[in-house]
């Protein structure tokens, strides 16, 4: 996926779980494959949007490997400005710091015991992958490393002068390294150009990172990153060091690592407290707020957009910034006259970095109340047209039908005075033509999309898209329906069920400890809604799959979505799931030679893998 495609997807995401699922997928490609087209700045922008929208730090766990690592391999917390740096300095309580290159490669653990070497990728930090079979090819250091038992962590990279030979095939050195190491087929001609740079040494007391550590690693025979000891770790000084190192380093770097000069051993399963990563924010500007606009979105959520005085990044004029959520505006006292520090993240997305001068938060004037999470404000006013448009957009999105974006739907709803789903899905080509801006071809496309949706949609899709089950995305709803056979018959066929029994069954699935009752409490509301709109969709498929007695096979898709194929397989008595488990019979992929985590897992479980082209 391109950066712009991901941003477009994010626009339609409302729940944290949906965003987290997308971000984990993007992270997996970014760190572990040769497919990612994202630059470092673009990836960091996506993380920043998540963290500000949901008010929590994102930490990529990684794909869990099948080998328990001999030691825990943490990731680093990031600092980006003087405020974060001052908090870090208080924690360290030292006058000297070690700064070193934050190498942009693939994290690797080297274990030397009795003259033998084992290599592991990081995985999720606790379980990784044994890649000792690349040891004979890569440049890991001098033979002296075999003379003593030890455990060292570092980064496997391809030096920039070597990468020039592969730049037509791979987007960047990190993609190349991840692709060649995770590939089942080894490529010695590429592997011999890889180099291991060591930066951490494990002792019995824990993880050790100081300038003495780098000296020890060099003594053992390893290559080490550039490092120096400094006293001033202000933002401007660090940015200067980073820019200099980016220009001089023999490998890609995406920041610098700061460690306390004092010897500190850290062995907990948390990120280190005394070692952090610094990343430059790029060009920043101070700008004054003119207004905070509040727009009604899906589920009646009020989303803030901050209007500022015009500011230029290069030749690009920027005047609007996301306010993320109501809590962000309130807590940061953003209103008319507030001075903000802003940037254009990834050279694309306008982003608020911090508040320089707060004023008074400009909150919405309409009646509203706080969501249960305390992050969002929900409008109490009747926004029936906006809610209908949002539901209709969701129907087409869930069914993966292109060509029916919110702008088109909004024009039709407002132009025809449409009040509900029944009216919308019964419109004709002539109805669409009567709306300003629609011609013969565009009207035909609208009707074609509506007919396609009617042929695809099933009850589960309506449950996902209707907005009644807030906080329950597609995966959660499908999981409940597939595991608890009484849910759909109750909603569709008026089957009599015991609500307490339903809650108990959902609790037994796992992962619904705090939400099972909430889901069941909304079933009657959905039932009423479904009976009101079902005729709009023709005859929605009611696919009830017993938990155990499945007459066909269980399929799982990887790397693509295909609503038509999904419906076809279900019509034939099969079951299509989103999560790959041991119960799956067939994994469908675009390319059987791919190296995704699902394919690796399927091979491990002995699950049949079939290419998409054989099913269509």
Distance CA 180, CA 269 (A): 29
pLDDT-wise least confident of 47-51, 240-244, 387-391, 444-448: 47-51
Distance CA 337, CA 291 (A): 8
pLDDT, average across residues 144-151: 87
What phi and psi, each to the nearest 5 degrees, are found at residue 324?
65, -70
- Tens digits of residue pLDDT in 437-495: 999 999 999 999 999 998 888 888 899 888 888 878 887 888 888 788 788 888 887 78
Contact 489, 543 (CB under 8 A): no
Distance CA 59, CA 75 (A): 8
pLDDT of 326 above 70: yes
Tell me what the pLDDT averaged over the chain comes to.
84
- Tens digits of residue pLDDT in 17-54: 778 878 888 877 776 666 677 776 777 788 888 888 88
Distance CA 421, CA 388 (A): 8
220-to-134, 147, 202, 210 alpha-carbon distances in Å = 20, 8, 13, 16
pLDDT of 544 above 50: no
Distance CA 349, CA 344 (A): 5
Structure tokens that stand for 164 in this block: 């020039």
pLDDT, average across residues 603-612: 87
Percent of all residues in the chain with a pLDDT value above 90, rounded to a whole number: 32
Question: Residue 475: what pLDDT?
Answer: 77
Structure tokens that stand for 578 in this block: 């989103």
Q: In what order do the strands lie in the sheet with 206-208?
A: 116-121, 106-113, 150-157, 195-203, 206-208, 265-266
∠ CA 393-396-402 to the nearest 5 degrees?
110
Distance CA 15, CA 517 (A): 19
Listed in sequence order, the residues at least 6 apart from 204 whose beta carbon sits closer than 8 Å to its beta carbon are: none
Given pLDDT bands bounded at 50, 70 and 90, which one contains residue 551?
very low
Higher pLDDT, 547 or 305: 305
- Tens digits of residue pLDDT in 275-289: 899 987 667 889 999
pLDDT of 348 above 50: yes
pLDDT of 388 above 50: yes
pLDDT, average across residues 96-105: 92
Question: Residue 550: what pLDDT?
Answer: 40
Higher pLDDT, 573 or 513: 513
Question: Residue 410: what pLDDT?
Answer: 92
Question: Residue 21: what pLDDT?
Answer: 78
Range 420-445 burial, b when 16+ CB lie within 10 A, else e? ebeebbebeeebbeebeebeeeebeb
Given pLDDT bands bounded at 50, 70 and 90, which one contains residue 268?
low
pLDDT, average across residues 201-213: 71
- Tens digits of residue pLDDT in 564-591: 788 778 767 677 776 777 778 899 998 8
Contact 243, 43 (CB under 8 A): no
Which contiguous run of DSSP H or E holds residue 328? helix 326-331
Kindly report whether the global pTM for this prediction surpasses the value 0.75: no
Burial of residue 84 (number of CB atoms within 10 Å: 0-12, 13-18, 19+): middle
Given pLDDT bands bounded at 50, 70 and 90, which one contains residue 304?
very high
CA-nearest of 459, 461, 442 to 400 is 461
Q: How many CA atoms lie within 13 A of 260 on its CB side?
A: 18
- Tens digits of residue pLDDT in 403-450: 898 889 999 999 999 988 999 999 999 999 999 999 999 999 999 999
Question: Residue 547: what pLDDT?
Answer: 38
- Tens digits of residue pLDDT in 64-74: 567 889 988 88
DSSP string, 355-406: EEE-------SS-EEE-TTSS-EEE-S--HHHHHHHHHHHHHHHTT-TT--H
- Tens digits of residue pLDDT in 109-119: 999 999 899 99
Higher pLDDT, 31 or 364: 364
């Amino acid at each position: 996926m391109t950066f712009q495609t991901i941003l477009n997807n994010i626009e339609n995401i409302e729940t944290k779980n949906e965003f987290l699922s997308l971000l984990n997928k993007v992270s997996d490609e970014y760190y572990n494959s040769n497919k990612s087209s994202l630059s470092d700045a673009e990836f960091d922008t996506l993380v920043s949007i998540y963290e500000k929208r949901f008010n929590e730090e994102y930490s990529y766990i990684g794909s869990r490997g099948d080998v328990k690592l001999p030691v825990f391999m943490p990731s680093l917390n990031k600092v980006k400005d003087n405020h974060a740096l001052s908090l870090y300095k208080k924690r360290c309580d030292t006058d000297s710091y070690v700064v070193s290159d934050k190498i942009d490669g693939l994290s690797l653990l080297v274990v030397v015991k009795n003259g033998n070497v084992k290599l592991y990728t990081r995985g999720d930090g606790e379980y990784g992958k044994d890649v000792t079979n690349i040891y004979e090819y890569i440049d890991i250091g001098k033979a002296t490393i075999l003379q003593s038992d030890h455990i060292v962590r570092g980064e496997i990279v391809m030096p920039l002068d070597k990468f020039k030979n592969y730049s037509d095939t791979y987007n960047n050195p990190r993609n190349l390294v991840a692709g060649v190491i995770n590939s089942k087929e080894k490529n010695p001609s590429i592997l011999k150009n890889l180099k291991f740079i060591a930066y951490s040494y494990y002792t019995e007391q824990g993880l050790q990172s100081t300038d003495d550590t780098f000296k020890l690693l060099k003594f053992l025979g390893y290559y080490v990153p550039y490092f120096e000891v400094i006293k001033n770790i202000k933002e401007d000084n660090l940015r200067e060091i980073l820019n200099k190192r980016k220009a001089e380093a023999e490998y890609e770097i995406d920041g610098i690592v700061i460690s306390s000069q004092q010897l500190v051993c850290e062995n907990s399963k948390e990120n280190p407290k005394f070692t952090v990563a610094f990343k430059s924010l790029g060009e920043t500007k101070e700008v004054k707020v003119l207004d905070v606009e509040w727009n009604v979105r899906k589920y009646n959520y009020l989303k803030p957009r901050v209007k500022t005085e015009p500011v230029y990044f290069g030749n690009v004029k920027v005047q609007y910034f996301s306010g993320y959520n109501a809590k962000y505006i309130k807590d940061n006292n953003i209103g008319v006259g507030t001075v903000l520090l802003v940037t254009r993240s990834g050279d694309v997305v306008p982003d608020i970095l911090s508040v320089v001068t707060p004023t008074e938060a400009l909150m919405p004037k309409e009646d509203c109340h706080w969501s249960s999470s305390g992050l969002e404000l929900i409008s109490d006013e009747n926004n029936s047209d906006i809610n209908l448009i949002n539901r209709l957009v969701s129907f087409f999105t869930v069914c993966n039908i292109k060509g029916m974006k919110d702008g088109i739907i909004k024009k039709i709803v407002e132009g025809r005075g449409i009040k509900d789903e029944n009216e919308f899905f019964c419109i004709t080509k002539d109805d669409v033509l009567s709306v300003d801006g629609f011609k013969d071809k565009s009207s035909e496309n609208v009707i074609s999309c509506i007919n396609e949706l009617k042929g695809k949609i099933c009850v589960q899709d309506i449950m996902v898209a209707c907005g009644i089950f807030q906080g329950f995305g597609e995966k959660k709803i499908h999981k409940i329906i597939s595991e608890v056979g009484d849910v759909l018959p109750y909603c569709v066929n008026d089957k009599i069920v015991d609500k307490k029994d339903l809650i108990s069954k959902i609790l037994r699935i796992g992962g619904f400890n705090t939400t099972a009752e909430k889901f069941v409490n909304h079933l009657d509301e959905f039932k009423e809604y479904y009976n009101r709109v079902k005729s709009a969709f023709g005859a929605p498929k009611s696919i009830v799959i017993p938990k155990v007695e499945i007459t066909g096979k269980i399929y799982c898709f990887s790397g693509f979505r295909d609503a038509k194929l999904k419906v076809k397989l279900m019509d034939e008595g099969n079951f299509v799931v989103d999560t790959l488990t041991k119960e799956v019979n067939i994994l469908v992929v675009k390319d059987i030679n791919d190296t995704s985590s699902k394919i690796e897992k399927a091979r491990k479980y002995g699950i049949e893998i079939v290419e998409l082209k054989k099913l269509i």
